[in-house]
Structure 1
């Protein structure tokens, strides 16, 4: 127990404002500068900041310059793309820096989480940061609490600025001004007028793509032709993908029109953008710039694209694109033994006996030992089998037809995607409002920095699965709309074409999901000649012998 008669003396601090890192005789000092755009005014500011810190550090006899760390044209809302910032942090971790100078909190970061994380990380290692504009030294006791409030203000500023930028871009779009620098093959942006002008050399490639597409070539075929000619993409690549070709086919800019607002920013801090599927306004301007393709040609290409897309579901096989299929059975036939696709091949080429067959890709590419049970099957056999299966479904079997349509409609009615999506959106809005109120409480001094960060993390953890569910439901909602179109198409096809006398690709693609070639029987033996048509909505009509699928005889195959 302390003696009541003894007095504790207080030894006053001699230099209370001196950084705690001054336990070394000479401080190794670094400076961090950043500008977020590359316009002339900010570039001048950038070089002024660099020179300012070079002079400032050189004039202090207790400081020695380590380096000036500088990022140009980089946003301060994250650290992933800030190369010099990350280099500076690495040097700090390696013990090369004692003190960092920076102009202001906003130059260091406008993200609350990043700011507090790095300040805490460096403070634990005795490394201070001086924010000159705010007069904060992070090694001083008063620095941390004030820093948290200022960081929160800066983050709110970014979010407010993002909304201001959106309003500014909206105004430009309403005036018909081109926003951004779209990379469209065949066009360059005139730096004076801000309009798109034709690049005639590239425009010839665009015209060739539309010409070949209208002639019946698919995206993949056109891509191979462009590579053979040595043509380059807008970014200078000599490799072409079918998605690049189809992207050109769908781009309204080639008619002289301009659609803006195709994507929208949903998180200004993480710079997360998503496709604009009706969640924000879009802006369409006709005759915004010179056309490369006339409207009639463009519409013909869109009609072909739509026709190829009708009745198809979104592909799940990464090696097969159902949206650009050259043949009726492309991507529709599956091997019943290994699960691979079947590809089209020619037998007896150049002879009077030439015929087209379909064979397992695993067998043809890797060899028989990898799929020994499969057999090639004549294309006409598959066509005839479909005709029989379809006529069973749509001919005299009205009860089977009714069941098929009922299952299609039930598959859509059984889902409640629209209501679920509205519910998720409401929950997300509620949590986002909580985040805003939480920040207001911090700024008003109602809660502490620690409580703010803890609660913010908790809310964001709740939000993340909701964002993922929202994306999933948005995709499902789009799929359901496609199913509605499929139902109407099926009704039309089944009523107009009750019986087929010859193979019809449009009917096949409308009602069939996929076809399985070959089957392993229950006793383990292989039946390579069995053809299973899987109709959409899961209906497999039974053939006359009351089996669920057609099983062809061996002499029908090759």
Structure 2
């Protein structure tokens, strides 16, 4: 038998594309530090110097380059520009071997480590990890790599857990964590305090004022752009989401909520809003407020109501969102039939005034309702006072008929009695339900009968509970109306004439107001104001006779100001002072002070 000579195998996989085996290896080094602290930066420089000297000291190696990422995390490859450049050079055949300090320097994500090591291995490019003494081209290299890279990833997760614990401890002590500043405040990172920036605070107050007046986020955003205000970052563009974010921010009332977001895991670094998955920390009176507690809560209430889906009325139309102002949803355009909405003119100057304008003209364009004009709110208020005076003097029989009809309607409503009956029926059904359960426990009825009767009783109770909710509102409205009718009758008996606009009286007797129309000769009159009373009586007045003097007029000293804010009593009667948002509801609601 002939002798067989065994040629020993090498432990490395030889590249198939290389024909000259004596060719020097083109070696590249990769360095990385994850933070920009002084010690880490010194380590970074030391790594660069070390690998430059190491590669040059090896005669069989030639320097293909030093690739280094400074102050970059190793958990996400896409953020490491030099690492991506290294991989591209390897795939282009410019590098034969990559040398790095350890697996954690290469990547702290097991999936990324294996992905790129296998990609380079297919191209015949070795990756050598010094600390672990692993060469990826050897047969046992990948097994060790999987184990050690998993350990590196676990180390990251442990560090992340420790950092989270440290941040929570800071938040428990009341320290600001991750705060980047917000409009209206200046942040001092040294002592971590917030101080009011008065110039920016004026913008915040304007946003809350307009929002509590009924304006939406997109409307306020356009107003801010038109007024030339800038965001915290200096941008002249405002998004409605930015405005709503300010409305939601509790910092403006002096409190602070820590832990609004959390990181899902240290690998993806995905952040989510905290809806209770992690602990949160609320600190009251942390710093000087810009907005009062009352104004902030009023804004949150509007925000919550707007977030709810609006139900349909019996006529199939969506219910009205708000009765913020006395004339909201009550003024109709006499030309196109559209609704008039409240708008502010010259809101940032001393000549500001509230006007009511046809929504068709403002939303679709003037060409869709060319005859309509904006009417000053004080004009409508004064016109109503005059119309009411004429009604009291010349139409006593009409008012008596109105009072009679209103009292009859209230007596027929019986919302309070119906509510009491519904609550009594619910109690009776609950008693039956409890007895049914006792019978089932005593085994006096079979399961099928029990289930059928139990579901039937539950369904009846649920239906009555829904009826109670609607009757509750009706009962409150009925009680309020009874009080108003009594007050109104008392006013009539005393034969008093209104000196100032009274929102309560207006809402009690007026069905709607029509602004604009045609006179007896067929001429267009945009200032014609028609009050349609709930008795069916109509009264038309000329709005031009009630226009207030311009603020820059020399004669701006009118002795009769019908909407005065000189006293709290008068302010409570003014059409734009109450935050009563539902028609015929709470009479003595205190208005927010902005």
Query: Do these two structures clear the TM 0.5 threshold for a shared fold by scoring above it?
Result: yes
Q: Work out the CA distance in 1 between the residues paired with 2:288 and 2:258.
A: 17
2:145 equivalent among 134, 144, 147: 147
Inter-CA distance 123–37: structure 2 relative to 1 (3 Å threshold): same
User: 1:243 corresponds to which residue?
Assistant: 241
1:8 equivalent among 4, 13, 35: 4
Task: Report if the CA contact (8 A) 2:213-2:324 is conserved.
Answer: no
Q: Are 2:10 and 1:34 aligned?
A: no
Cα deviation code 1:160-184 (max 9, x no counterpart)? 2222221111111111111113342
Cα deviation code 1:270-326 (max 9, x no counterpart)? 11222211122110112333333333332232233234334449xxxxxxxx99999
TM-score w.r.t. the length of structure 1 is 0.55
Q: Work out the CA distance in 1 between the residues paired with 2:26 and 2:281.
A: 54
User: 2:296 corresponds to which residue?
Assistant: 298
Task: Report if the CA contact (8 A) 1:345-1:358 is conserved.
Answer: no
Cα deviation code 1:98-131 (max 9, x no counterpart)? 1112121111111111111110110111111111
Give me the CA root mean square deviation.
Answer: 4.4
Inter-CA distance 85–187: structure 2 relative to 1 (3 Å threshold): farther
Inter-CA distance 49–202: structure 2 relative to 1 (3 Å threshold): farther
Q: Work out the CA distance in 2 between the residues paired with 1:33 and 1:325.
A: 66
Task: Report if the CA contact (8 A) 2:203-2:229 is conserved.
Answer: yes
Inter-CA distance 197–28: structure 2 relative to 1 (3 Å threshold): farther
Inter-CA distance 220–152: structure 2 relative to 1 (3 Å threshold): same
1:114 equivalent among 112, 115, 124: 112
TM-score w.r.t. the length of structure 2 is 0.52
Cα deviation code 1:506-531 (max 9, x no counterpart)? xxxxxxxxxxxxxxxxxxxxxxxxxx
User: 2:214 corresponds to which residue?
Assistant: 216
The 5 A counterparts of 1:371-382 are none
- Greater alpha carbon shift after TM alignment, 117-126 vs 139-148: 139-148
- How far 1:23 moved relative to its partner? 3.6
The 5 A counterparts of 1:525-544 are none
Q: Work out the CA distance in 2 between the residues paired with 1:487 and 1:175.
A: 49
Q: Are 2:51 and 1:48 aligned?
A: no
Q: Work out the CA distance in 1 between the residues paired with 2:273 and 2:184.
A: 24
Task: Report if the CA contact (8 A) 2:103-2:149 is conserved.
Answer: yes
Q: Work out the CA distance in 1 between the residues paired with 2:38 and 2:468.
A: 58
Q: Could you say which structure has the larger radius of gyration? A: 2
Inter-CA distance 127–190: structure 2 relative to 1 (3 Å threshold): same
For the residue of structure 1 that corresponds to 2:115, the secondary structure is helix
Q: Are 2:247 and 1:275 aligned?
A: no
Task: Report if the CA contact (8 A) 1:218-1:325 is conserved.
Answer: no
User: 2:100 corresponds to which residue?
Assistant: 102
Inter-CA distance 488–128: structure 2 relative to 1 (3 Å threshold): farther
For the residue of structure 2 that corresponds to 1:96, the secondary structure is coil
Task: Report if the CA contact (8 A) 1:218-1:326 is conserved.
Answer: no
Cα deviation code 1:450-495 (max 9, x no counterpart)? xxxxxxxxxxxxxxxxxxxxxxxxxxxxxxxxxxx99996564466
Counting matched residue pairs gives 361
Inter-CA distance 323–102: structure 2 relative to 1 (3 Å threshold): farther
User: 1:87 corresponds to which residue?
Assistant: 85
Task: Report if the CA contact (8 A) 1:184-1:234 is conserved.
Answer: yes
The 5 A counterparts of 1:511-530 are none
- Structure 1 runs (4+) deviating above 6 angstroms are 17-22, 322-327, 344-347, 395-398, 485-489
User: 1:180 corresponds to which residue?
Assistant: 178
Name stretches of at least 5 consecutive residues in structure 1 with no aligned partner.
314-321, 328-343, 348-353, 369-390, 403-484, 502-558
Q: Work out the CA distance in 1 between the residues paired with 2:66 and 2:321.
A: 52
Task: Report if the CA contact (8 A) 1:19-1:140 is conserved.
Answer: no
Inter-CA distance 100–189: structure 2 relative to 1 (3 Å threshold): farther
User: 1:70 corresponds to which residue?
Assistant: 68
For the residue of structure 1 that corresponds to 2:79, the secondary structure is coil
Q: Work out the CA distance in 2 between the residues paired with 1:324 and 1:125.
A: 69
User: 1:438 corresponds to which residue?
Assistant: none
Cα deviation code 1:385-422 (max 9, x no counterpart)? xxxxxx9xxx8999xxx9xxxxxxxxxxxxxxxxxxxx
